[in-house]
Amino acid sequence: MSSTMPVPPNPRSSIAEERANPSFPVRELTYWIDGGRRVTELKERIMLELERDPLWRVSDHPNLSLAETRERAMSKIRRLADLATSRPLEETMIRMSIISVVDPGFWTRFGVHFGLFFGALQGQATPSQMAYWMDKGALSMQGITGCFGMTELGHGSNVAGLETTATLDEKVDEFIVHSPTLTATKWWIGGAAHTATHCAVYAQLIVKGQCYGTKTFVVQLRDTKTFALMPGVNIGDLGKKMGRDQIDNGWIRFTHVRIPRSHMLMKHTKVTRSGEVIEPPLAQLAYGALIQGRVSMVSDSANVAKRALTIATRYASVRRQFGGSASGAAETKLIDYPIHQYRLLPLMAQTFAMIFTAREVTANYEKLMGELSDLGEAKDAAADDVIKNLKETHATSAGLKAFCTWMCLNIIDQCRQSLGGHGYSAYTGLSQAYSDFAVHCTWEGDNTILTLQCGRYLVATALDARKGQPLPENLSYLKGAVSATGGLSDRACKGGSTEQVSSLDTLKAAWSSVAANAILNAVRDFEAGLAKGLAKDDAYEFSSASRLHAARMHTYTYLLHRFAAQVDRSPAALRPVLTLLAQLFGAHSAVQHSGEFLQAGFYTGPQIETLKGFVSHACSEIRKDAVSLTDAFNYTDYVVNSPLGRFDGDVYEKYFELVTSLNPAKPVPYFDSLIRPLLERTNETEAGPELEIDEE
């Protein structure tokens, strides 16, 4: 039986085929994703600047030691600090969003000062305090480098339970900052080990023996001239981590460290010279500082997912495997296999959902911050509306942070696995991306805790609505999904055709119904806890599983509705492909949670089967535009930083070049000490009797 030689792959021509006939104008989609041509061109300029700057070399990151990684990161700090203070804020924010993809560890190290430490000053300092710290160099990092001391060895998400204390000594007008126990040691503090001179420390305010809860204090850690630790301050290095080794995380212990009373940030709570504590009229205003980090992680999830999908989709379009049995035929592209389409393209739809949701939630957050800034000390009806909006945004951002970061982490790993064995290589870009991104699921609030916060808000809002209170905008779907008696409305899908089952309007109604059902179930569980005689907080704990589930269903519904809203506003030339992506997001997510739709009575079993068929059809249609969709993300090869995700498709040549250049042949350092003795060892024991098994 004769066989034919396999046809060698031609990856350049393979990927060129993918771009031959896109169904939409790629550049126009880039503008739509970025928010306009001007922003796209600014991003392209910044990406080119980074690529041409020797300081920003990233291709050799996998081979750097811990010390080299930290030193490389620190070498970039001054240049970026100068740019951050000399260039427009918009440009700085866009630069940082790109850097968060290019070098997430550096982004963290830089962001600890500018985002967390300086952010604490912006959110909690009075105008005079802000002017003082600005004059000290807090913005420009000239004289001060800051860190953020919230997390402790024994406490993370429970900020109210922090053990560090700040006790007012009225005689000398100072606070005494102290770590009374081992578990009060500040832990995971980015920048503490090597870099920070000052820390925004979260500690229990104690005045005249009374505790007033957790407040923020600026504590000097090191002498700004000698860099020696200040009296009473002990600091250590936390060493190697799962990812983001560019940031020097450390621990801090305070032993009766004295700071001026004015170093307590007093925008909200104030402490006078005589020891009078003045609490803010609107305690909820402190929520605003927490929301920014959560909103930024929705955007970061979208940006990182775009890179992962660019790598996986381009590789799937040039990698050929099996098939090609006919004489002279090439093997089949991975992207042409339906199972590979099903593997990747729903992730593409999820990424677009995050992109457009991030856009809306960021705009809403900026609007809210403007309203809070204008609010002052007001307590009128307008203030009540702003506070309601603040609570809604706080809860929504909590759910989005949790489910978008979980979604992105899954996208990274699914894309990595889709690369086959090459996905395990540090040089193909996704193994380190997973390690670097995983922290998003626990910092800025553990995801499970955040979902419970969101779920608690959903239960409370549903109970308020039952009493006649108006529903907030992002829960307006409850109006149609909940009946006058408080149960689920009869909103079953009518018809069984693919179009009837999978239209965007039907999917929006379906998810609204499912989310409403989940919220009502959480309300019932909460009320069942109360009926058992549990206190309110205990009843919320009793219903924690259903609260988490309600938060999940609500967040998926929110994502779909925000995606659909952006589709409606999109240019006509983009609407068909974006509509199909939105349908795929809603339908695939529904299939993954099909039991919920059956339980809510919206879909029947046969309709779910029809929906499954639509998902396969949508994947096959989107497959035709898969590479063009990743091209619209507009990441340069430098930002993608993976030989398998190259724009020109030349994956094998560049992969081989990268691996061989970073790992040149050289003598094995332990050959003489370990390998040679292994090979040349002799058996010095006496031979024993032979075992004659044949005679038994």
Residues marked as catalytic: 444
679 phi/psi in degrees, rounded to 5: -70, -35
Residue type (1 letter), 207: V
128 exposed, middle or buried (CB, 10 Å; 0-12, 13-18, 19+)?
Answer: exposed
Contacts with 242 (C-beta within 8 Å, 6 or more apart), sequence order:
435, 438, 439
Q: What is the DSSP string of 526-577?
A: HHHHHHTT--HHHHHHHTHHHHHHHHHHHHHHHHHHHHHHHHHHS-TTTHHH
Helices (H) and strands (E) in the chain, counts: 25, 11
Q: Rounded CA gap, 377 and 375, in Å?
A: 6
Q: Angle, to 10 degrees, between the axis of helix 11-18 and the axis of helix 287-318?
A: 120
The amino acid at residue 542 is: F
The CA distance from 627 to 345, in Å, is 11
Q: How far is CA 193 from CA 81, 106, 146, 456, 551, in A?
A: 20, 15, 12, 37, 37
Q: Which two tokens stand for residue 317?
A: 């379009």
Calculate the CA dihedral of residues 542, 548, 554, 557 and round it to 10 degrees.
-150
Q: Are 519 and 599 in contact (CB under 8 A)?
A: no
Q: How far apart are CA 347 and CA 203, in angstroms?
A: 42
| Residue for token pair 């700040």 | 166
| Alpha-carbon separation of residue 475 from 385, 462, 600, 611, 686 (angstroms) | 16, 9, 17, 26, 82
**How many C-beta atoms surround the C-beta of residue 528 within 10 A?**
14
How many angstroms separate the Cα of 301 from the Cα of each of 61, 100, 262, 298, 352? 22, 10, 38, 5, 11
Rounded to 5 degrees, what are φ and ψ at 486? Answer: 95, -5
